[in-house]
């Protein structure tokens, strides 16, 4: 679990970006330190039906500013559908979503992204035939809505290069900057995707199974990376790997068949017999090995 004492708001961020993060970072940090109840994202009665099939049912989610919040549950529980609702890729059948004090239920994906609610892998895509650095540069250009003319300024290009290198350093890819993105090992590619998402300067980051299909070493690297990028931000994380969940999440919401089954810290949800039953026969489950191995 994260120790609030180890959370100075802007540690690890590059000086060039520090100023932008200070307010959000301090707020997140103060929220954690003082235990002030401060939700950045709240849903009420969030429901999604697909032709009569209820994929997400009456979900009340409350994500505390500055926290790493896990959304877990067996296959088909409705986690990705929830993400699609929160990021406006799907309209809800019923219910409301509030983000940072405003009702975003009727907004478009680009609008919520502009407000800093960003889903990894949503706008970012890794282009395999160009370099790792260029991938991040393009993401930065998109984030700024740059036109061709805008690109022609040498000063702007240099500024982007510097920021792109800073982001690559944040995700541990400095030595891969000149490599073609397509040559990256799988785990590093996910790190590049996270870097291109960070180019959008998210306030709240939604990550859907960032460690899916990864080797043991890559999983450890992604845990460290998520912890680092969570500084001064809020993270909502869908994850099947319970070691990742146990290591990262302050609060965990368990979904089954679209409904919230349990919520709490890892110890509370992993000790919940209903949660254990929901996982039986579907996932590795809350065995000690899955959680700590
Ligand atoms: N566009 C759609 N049309 C019809 N049914 C859908 C659609 N999208 C999702 N579903 C159904 O909704 C349920 C929830 O799916 P969802 O992808 O949200 O689950 P999940 O918790 O992300 O699962 P997993 O862990 O396997 O990724 C599933 O039964 C799925 O088949
Ligand atoms: Mg899913």
pLDDT 10s digits, 198-254: 988 899 999 998 888 888 888 888 899 899 999 999 999 999 999 999 999 999 999
21 inside domain? yes
What span, in angstroms and rounded, lies between the C-alpha atoms of 254 and 239? 11
Regions of the chain short of the pLDDT cut 70? 1-37, 121-125, 145-152, 280-293
55 inside domain? yes
Atom 16 of ligand 1: nearest residue by CA position? 78
Cα→Cα distances 38→108, 140, 143, 175, 251, Å: 25, 30, 28, 39, 14
C-alpha 81 to ligand 1 mean position (Å): 6
CB-based contact 31:9 (threshold 8 Å)? no
175 inside domain? no
In this prediction, residue 260 carries a pLDDT of 97
What span, in angstroms and rounded, lies between the C-alpha atoms of 70 and 35? 18
Ligand 1 contact via 31 beta carbon (within 6 Å):
no
187 inside domain? no
Tell me which H or E stretch contains 170: helix 154-170
192 inside domain? no
Ligand 1 contact via 71 beta carbon (within 6 Å):
no
pTM, whole model, 2 decimals?
Answer: 0.81
In this prediction, residue 112 carries a pLDDT of 94
CA angle 245, 251, 255 (to 5 degrees): 75
Tell me which H or E stretch contains 68: strand 68-72
CB-based contact 80:35 (threshold 8 Å)? no
Phi, then psi, of 113 in degrees rounded to 5: -65, -40
In this prediction, residue 6 carries a pLDDT of 27
186 inside domain? no
Domain span at residue 18?
4-108+207-282
What span, in angstroms and rounded, lies between the C-alpha atoms of 7 and 30? 10
C-alpha 78 to ligand 2 mean position (Å): 7
In this prediction, residue 291 carries a pLDDT of 41
In this prediction, residue 235 carries a pLDDT of 97
Residue 76: Cβ within 10 Å count: 14
Q: Give how many domains the chain has, as a whole number.
A: 1
123 inside domain? no
CB-based contact 252:278 (threshold 8 Å)? no
Tokens of 168: 């690559």
Position in ligand 1 atom list of the atom nearest CA 74? 25
In this prediction, residue 7 carries a pLDDT of 23
Which domain CATH number covers 277?
Answer: 3.40.50.300
C-alpha 81 to ligand 2 mean position (Å): 7
In this prediction, residue 186 carries a pLDDT of 85
Tokens of 266: 């890892």
What span, in angstroms and rounded, lies between the C-alpha atoms of 25 and 30? 8
CA angle 219, 117, 33 (to 5 degrees): 75
β-bridge mates for residue 4, sequence order: none
Position in ligand 1 atom list of the atom nearest CA 73? 21
In this prediction, residue 19 carries a pLDDT of 32
95 inside domain? yes
């Amino acid at each position: 679990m994260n120790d609030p004492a180890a959370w100075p708001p802007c540690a690890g961020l590059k000086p060039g970006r520090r100023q932008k993060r200070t307010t959000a970072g301090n707020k997140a940090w103060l929220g954690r330190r003082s235990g002030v109840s401060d939700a950045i994202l709240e849903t009420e009665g969030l429901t999604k039906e697909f032709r009569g099939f209820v994929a997400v049912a009456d979900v009340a989610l409350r994500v505390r500013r500055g926290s790493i919040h896990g959304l877990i549950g067996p296959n088909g529980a409705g986690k990705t559908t929830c993400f699609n609702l929160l990021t406006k890729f799907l309209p809800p059948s019923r219910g409301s979503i509030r983000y940072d004090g405003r009702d975003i239920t009727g907004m478009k994906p680009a609008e919520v992204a502009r407000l800093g609610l960003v889903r990894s892998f949503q706008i970012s895509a890794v282009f395999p035939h160009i370099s790792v650095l260029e991938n991040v540069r393009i993401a930065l250009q998109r984030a700024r809505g740059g036109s061709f003319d805008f690109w022609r300024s040498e000063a702007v290009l240099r500024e982007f290069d510097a920021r792109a290198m800073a982001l690559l350093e944040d995700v541990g890819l400095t030595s891969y900057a000149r490599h073609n993105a397509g040559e990256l090992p799988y785990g590093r590619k996910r790190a590049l995707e996270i870097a291109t998402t960070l180019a959008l300067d998210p306030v709240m980051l939604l990550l859907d199974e960032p460690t899916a299909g990864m080797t043991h070493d890559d999983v450890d690297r992604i845990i460290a990376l998520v912890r680092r990028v969570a500084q001064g931000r809020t993270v909502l994380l869908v994850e099947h790997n319970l070691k990742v969940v146990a290591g990262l999440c302050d609060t965990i919401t368990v979904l089954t068949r679209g409904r919230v089954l349990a919520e709490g810290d890892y110890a509370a949800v992993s000790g919940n017999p209903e949660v254990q039953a929901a996982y039986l026969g579907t996932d590795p489950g809350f065995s000690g090995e899955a959680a700590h191995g």
